[in-house]
Chains A and B, each alone.
Chain A
Amino acid sequence: MIRKTLFATLILFILPFAVAAVEPDEILDDPVLEARARDISKDLRCVVCQNENIDSSNAGVARDLRLLVRERLIAGDTNQQALDFIQARYGDFVLLKPPFKPSTYALWLAPGVFLLFGIGVSILILSRARTRRPNEALSDSEESAVAELLAQENRSDP
């Protein structure tokens, strides 16, 4: 019983995440176009509630953009063309996945650079730790030096 209640509560908690802001009057009759519109909407950032995509945002501008995306698709745009159309007006900022271009190289490449850097430093430290391990046996020259010292000691001893 308790388990069932817990499960139901969990489902209720998950529910809000599954609900999109798309209103019935926005939905297109053509299910294929509608699915494409939903896909595009998930890649577009709402400029009011930033960090929310327009598919799940209730802001007025987000609704306008959803309608605009659908309009572009009906006009025969490809997904990319519809995205470009909105990007031309709101800039790279509306794309939740930033484009790969000179001004974003640092953004895209920094994680890889940091990873390589970390790996490099680790290898360096580990290899040095290995070579620095103290030698168990003395070298020949050290051996002879020790012998000489000992001999001197014996001699100075009365």
Chain B
Amino acid sequence: MTRILAALPILVALMVGGFFLWGLNPDRDPNEIPSVLISQQVPEFDLAPVAGMNIPGLARTDLTGNPGPVVVNVFASWCVPCRAEHAVLTRMVERDGVRLMGINYKDKPEEARAWLDDLGNPYERIGSDLNGRAGIEWGISGVPETFIVSGAGTVLYRYVGPVVGPEAEAEFSTALAEARATKAPRT
């Protein structure tokens, strides 16, 4: 009994120390919000195209029944990191043959058009989310955010913030490679 009592302070110190070790880990982001959407079906949404653009809009039905995974990117012309991310997304589309869909979040159509004219349009479809309601359905907290959706329409992966820089790009392409490997029995 005395031994157990003597070991108590050590036990408590180990518990607290273990907690510190976990909490002080530099790779842990305390602001990270776990997404409820992962391994769920794509949420219900139906967005009209960006006015004045010759690109179709985006709806839930465009994300189900695809032969392979597609990438959904939430962007806006007013979002500065999106400009940096645009180059990365364009490269993914041109080099890796990624199918990219866009949600233009709370953006003025004319500004979105000018932005895409200036930088080029890597998106296959773009839905114009003028009031941000589709953004809420996707559970986004800001722009940019990027999702990987399986061919069958299951959300496999979510990246919050711009996919820019070697670390982020490596993480994203790993997730994409995994999504492609476990594609679907339908193909």
Q: Are B141 and A61 in contact (CB under 8 A)?
A: yes
A89 adjacent to B137 (CB under 8 Å): yes
B34–A93 CB distance below 8 A = yes
Q: Report if B23 contacts A (CB, 8 A).
A: no
Q: How far is the CA of A50 from the CA of B34 in the complex (A)?
A: 13
B31 CB–A CB distance under 8 Å: yes
A47–B133 Cα gap in the complex (Å)? 15
Residues of A within 8 A of B136 (CB): 61, 64-65, 68, 89
> Which B residues are CB-close (under 8 A) to A90?
33, 36, 139
A32 to B150, CA, bound (A): 44
Contact indicator B5/A88 (Cβ below 8 Å) = no
- The verdict on B81 contacting chain A, using a C-beta distance below 8 Å, is no
**Chain B 80-109 interface residues, beta-carbon cutoff 8 Å to A:** 106
Interface residues on A, range: 10 to 19
Query: Which residues on the A side are within 8 Å of B33 (C-beta)?
Result: 47, 50, 90-91, 93
A-B Cβ contacts below 8 A, count: 43
A48 interface hit (Cβ, 8 Å): yes
Cross-chain contact A91 with B34 (CB below 8 angstroms): yes
Chain B residues lying within 8 Å of A121, measured Cβ to Cβ, are: 5, 8
Inter-chain contacts of A65 with B (CB < 8 A): 136
For the complex, give the distance between the alpha carbons of A112 and B80 in Å. 48
**Does B174 touch A at the CB level, under 8 Å?**
no
Kindly state the separation between the CA atoms of A17 and B157 in the bound complex, as whole angstroms.
Answer: 38
Could you tell me the distance between the alpha carbons of A93 and B141 in the complex, rounded to whole angstroms? 12
Task: State which residues 48-62 of B face A: CB under 8 Å.
Answer: none
Q: A91: which B residues are within 8 A, CB to CB?
A: 33-36, 139
Which A residues are in CB contact (< 8 Å) with B139?
89-91
Please provide the chain B residues from 1 to 31 with a CB less than 8 Å away from any CB of chain A in the complex.
5, 8, 31
A124 at the interface (CB under 8 A from B): yes
Selected from A48, A68, A125, the residue in CB contact (under 8 A) with B142 is A48
The answer to whether A61 and B132 touch across the interface, beta carbons within 8 angstroms, is: yes
Please provide the chain A residues from 106 to 121 with a CB less than 8 Å away from any CB of chain B in the complex: 121
Distance of A65 Cα from B141 Cα, bound (Å): 11
- A88 to chain B: which residues have CB within 8 Å? 36
Interface string of B129-145 (1 = CB under 8 A from A): 00111011111111000
How distant is the Cα of A124 from the Cα of B136 in the complex, in angstroms?
54
CB neighbours (8 Å) of B161 from chain A are none
In this complex, what residue of A is CB-closest to B2? Answer: A128
Given A89-B36, A89-B43, A91-B34, verify A48-B141 contact (CB < 8 Å).
Answer: yes
Within the assembled complex, what's the spacing in Å between the Cα atoms of A146 and B17? 53
Give 5 closest A-B pairs by Cβ, nearest first: A91-B36, A47-B141, A89-B139, A64-B132, A93-B33
Q: List 14 A-B contacts (CB under 8 A).
A: A47-B141, A48-B141, A64-B133, A64-B136, A65-B136, A89-B43, A89-B136, A90-B33, A91-B34, A91-B35, A93-B33, A121-B5, A121-B8, A124-B5
Instruction: Give A contacts to B, CB under 8 Å.
Output: 47-48, 50, 60-61, 64-65, 68, 88-91, 93, 121, 124-125
